[in-house]
Structure 1
C-alpha cells in the first residue's frame, strides 16, 4: 500500500486560493475515483472537487472556513501500489481537526411541519457515527433539516461515506424516525424553558457577504433617499401586456418596467451609472447599463447581472432577468452571469416594508430598493381615492453622487413609472 497526496488544483480564472466550504468525506472513508470529496469557494464560484483516485482517506487538511492555497496538499489517500508520496518526506499533512458536536437544546423543539407523502424506497442502512463525527450533507439539506427540527446525526445517508441527500431526509421524516420532534398535543401543554445554543461559524458565501458589506458600509459614506410612486396606470398596462403577451414570453412583474425606466433615467444622469475606484480616485461612467438583480438563494445573497439593458425591449429584459436569477437560485450561474454590473436593483418583493437603507454594491455608486405595491387611500384633487402605490428606497455614494443627483434620478424613475407610456417613447 502507498500514499497518494492530492493537492488543491488550479481552478482557473487566476484563482490562487480557495476557502473550504465543506469536506464531503472523512478519515477512514473508502472513496472511488471522481467521487466528490471537497467543496471549495473562490472569489469566482463554488466548486466541488472530485477524487483523483480510488482509495481510503488517510488524512485531510483544513476545516470549513480555512483558506487553502492552490498547490497545497489538502488530502492524502491510502492506495494500492506505491502512490505518489515519498516515505522519506520530513513533513506530512496535518490531520483533520475533529469537529465538536453542535450544542443541543435542553428542551423539546416545536413540531416538524407536515410534509407530503414520499414514495416508498429502499431504506439506507443506518450509519453508525463515532461520537463527535459530523454527518455529511450539503448546506441545502442542513437548512431543510433545521426547518424540520431533524437532527442529521439520526438520519441514514445513502451517498458516499454516508452522505445524506434530500431523498434520505424525506424518507426519514416520512418514516417518523427519531430525531424529528413530535407534535404538541391539542389543547396545549405546559410551556418549558429552552436554554440551548448553537454556534454557527461564519464561513463560505456568508463570510464573503459579510466582508463585502463591511467594506462597502465602512468605506462608502451612504446617503439614502425615499419616494412613493403611484403605479395604478402601470398596473393596468402590466395586466394588459400579460394578457396579450407573445407566445413563450414570461409574465411581466414590475421589475422589467423599472429596468426600462432606469435605462432612460440613467442616460440622463450618467454620474449614477458608474464605478468608483477609491484607490485610484477615478470614477468610470459606463454607457452600457448592466443591472445587477439582488437574488436571495438558499446559499445566501447573489447579484446576477442583466447586461446591456439599454439594447433590450421589455420582453427581452424580462426573459434575461428570469434566466440569470433562475440560474443563480439553481446554483448554475457562471462567473459571466455574476459580474459586470454598473447599477443594482434590490427588491423585497412581497415582504414589502415601508422603506429600507440598501447597502451599495461596491464599487457601484448607487442602488435602488423596490418595495411591494399595494392599494392605499391617497388624496387626489382634494378627494380621498384608492390608488396602487409602491415605495422606492435608494442609497448613494456621497463622495461622488450629490444629494441632488441621486434624488433627481429617483424622481425621473417615478415620472416614467407613473406615466408608463413614456417608458416606450
Structure 2
C-alpha cells in the first residue's frame, strides 16, 4: 500500500516550508515516528517524523526545495513485506527510484556516517557530506575529511581555470607530466599547494537566512518606518545591576540589562497602548493587544530569531533573567519550539555591548514598533551646570507611521528613559 505523507499545517498562519536536510533517502526502511527531514518554516527549524512505517519510495524534492502545506512530503510503501528488506542506512547504496514533482531520477548516494557536529560544520562550509570519503573508524566522516574535501575541490577549480587559460590538456593534481602549452608557472603554484583563490564565493540563500530576508522585505515594504533616537543616563542602572548580579551569580543566574529594559518597556506600553498593537489591513482596524508578550531578537550562527517572553509584565527581574537565559541557550542550539517563537506583541533588539551608539531597527511585522537598546559607554555629560562622567546608553524606537505619529513616539521613549534612569522604581514590580 502506498501512503502519501502530506506536509501538515505545523504552525499558525504557515503555508509552506523549505526542506533543509533529508534524514532518509529513497529506498530506506523507516519506522513510525522516525525523523525523516528538517524543514524551515517562517518561525523555526522543525524536525518532521513519519506517521507510518515502511519503505521510502519518493521524496518531495532536493534539499532547498519548498513544499506547500497539503503537498506530499514523502511517499512510503507500507506493505508488511517491506520490513524484511531493511539494511542500515550507513551501509547500503540506494537504487534509483522516482521522485516527486517530475524530477529526473538519479542514483541515490550512500549516506555518510558522521557526528552531528561534523554535519553542522559541513553545512556551514557548503560541503555535501554524503560525497565526502570518511577516514574515521568505520568510514566515519571527520572534520579533517571535510577540510581535505575542500582543498581537493579548490585544487580542481584551479586546474579547470588553468585548462581554460592554456587550452591544453592537463593532468590532475599529483600528475607528473604537463603539456608544453600549459602555464608552467601556474602549475608550479598548484604543485606547491598554493592554490588559485577564487574571486568570489556564492552561498545559497536558504533556511532561516531566507526566511529572515523575506520577513524583513515584507516589513520594510509594508509599514512606513520612522526611527527616533535618544540617549539615556543609566548610571544608577549600571550600579544596581552590578550589585544584584553578584547576588544572583551565587545561584548560577546571569543578570544582564535586558530584564530591566523589558520592565521599563512594558510599563511604557501600558501607558501608551497604541505601541502594543498590530494593524489588520483587511478590516482596516488597529488591534490593541491586552497582554504583553515581548519578543527578544537573538543573534545565532544560523541567523536572527525572536523567542517570546509571555506576560513579561507579570514577571520579576529575577524571573525574566532566568527565562532569557533559557531561551537564549535553546536559540543557539536551534531547539526552540514553535510556540516559543510566536505571538509577540512588541519586540526589543540590541546591537550588543560592542555595537554602535544608535541603529534603525526593522519592525517585527505585523507589530507596529520595535525598541533598540545599544551600547553603554562612560563619557562626559552636562548635569546642571557641571560636566560629569556618566554611563550613557543609546536607544532607538522604530514605529509604523500608519499607526503612530512622532509626538507619541517621543513621549514613549522618554517614559522608557525615565524608568531606566530610575531603576529602583522597577523593583517595586517584584511579585
TM-score (norm 1): 0.73
**1:156 matched to 2:134:** yes
- 1:244-282 CA-to-partner distances (Å, cap 9, x unmatched) read 338636221110010111122222222212122122111
Q: How far has the Cα of 1:329 moved from its partner?
A: 2.8
Q: Is the 8 A contact 2:58 2:75 kept in 1?
A: yes
Alpha-carbon deviations, 1:16-75, whole Å to 9, x = none?
A: 654322223344x544425533223345643333454354x5443322232244253633
TM (normalized to structure 2)? 0.72
Q: Relative to structure 1, is the Cα distance of residues 49 and 420 closer, same or farther in structure 2, using a 3 angstrom cutoff?
A: closer
Determine if contact 1:358/1:369 at 8 Å carries over to the other structure. Answer: yes
Query: 2: CA distance between counterparts of 1:178 and 1:16?
Result: 37
Contact 1:291 1:344 (C-alpha < 8 Å) held by counterparts: yes
For residue 424 of structure 2, give the secondary structure of its aligned residue in structure 1.
Answer: helix
1:144 matched to 2:121? The reply is yes
1:326 to 324, 329, 336: 329
C-alpha distance in 2 between matches for 1:369 and 1:390: 11
Count residues with an aligned counterpart: 370
Deviation (angstroms), 1:193: 4.8
- Is residue 70 of structure 1 aligned with residue 70 of structure 2? yes
Instruction: Tell me how far apart the structure 2 counterparts of residues 325 and 356 of structure 1 sit (CA, whole Å).
Output: 22
Distance 1:292 1:331 in 2: 16
Whole-angstrom distance in 2 between the partners of 1:370 and 1:178: 43
The residue aligned with 1:258 is 261
Alignment check: 8 A CA contact 2:99 2:105 kept: no
Q: Deviations over 1:286-316 (max 9, x none)?
A: 2322111011233322211111122122111
Decide whether the 8 Å contact of 1:18 with 1:70 is kept in 2: no
Q: How has the CA–CA distance of structure 1 residues 218 and 12 changed in structure 2, closer, same or farther, with 3 Å as cutoff? A: closer
2:410 aligns with one of 395, 407, 410: 407
- The answer (yes or no) to whether the contact 2:226–2:400 under 8 Å persists in 1 is yes
Distance 1:380 1:7, change over 3 A: same
Larger radius of gyration: 2
Q: What is the DSSP-based 3-state SS (H/G/I as helix, E as strand, rest coil) of the residue aligned with 2:267?
A: helix
Counterpart-to-counterpart distance in 2, 1:348 and 1:31:
48
Deviates more, 1:274-283 or 1:360-369: 274-283
Given candidates 236, 240, 243, the residue that maps to 1:240 is 243
Secondary structure at the residue paired with 1:245? helix
Give 2:162's aligned residue: none
- Offset of residue 334 of structure 1: 2.2
Pair 207,149 (structure 1): closer, same or farther in 2 beyond 3 Å = closer
RMSD: 4.0
Map Cα deviations across residues 148-170 of structure 1 (whole Å, 9 max, x no partner): 797744352999xx9x8xxx444
Distance 1:155 1:396, change over 3 A: farther
1:37-186 to structure 2, matched below 5 A, reads: 37-43=36-42, 45-50=44-49, 52-55=52-55, 57-63=56-62, 64-70=64-70, 72=72, 74-75=74-75, 81=81, 93-94=100-101, 96=103, 144-145=121-122, 152=129, 153-154=131-132, 156=134, 168-170=141-143, 172=145, 177=148, 179=150
Cα distance in 2 for residues equivalent to 1:73 and 1:150: 24
**2:232–2:394 CA contact under 8 A, matched in 1:** yes
User: In the alignment, is the contact (CA less than 8 A) between 1:234 and 1:417 conserved in 2?
Assistant: yes
Question: Conserved in 2, the CA contact under 8 Å of 1:62 and 1:74?
Answer: no
Query: Does the 8 Å contact 2:7/2:68 carry over to 1?
Result: no
Unaligned runs of 5+ in 1: 84-90, 100-127, 183-188
User: Does the aligned pair in 2 maintain the 1:273–1:342 contact within 8 Å?
Assistant: yes
Matched residue, 2:185: none
Do 1:224 and 1:393's aligned partners in 2 also have CA atoms closer than 8 Å? yes
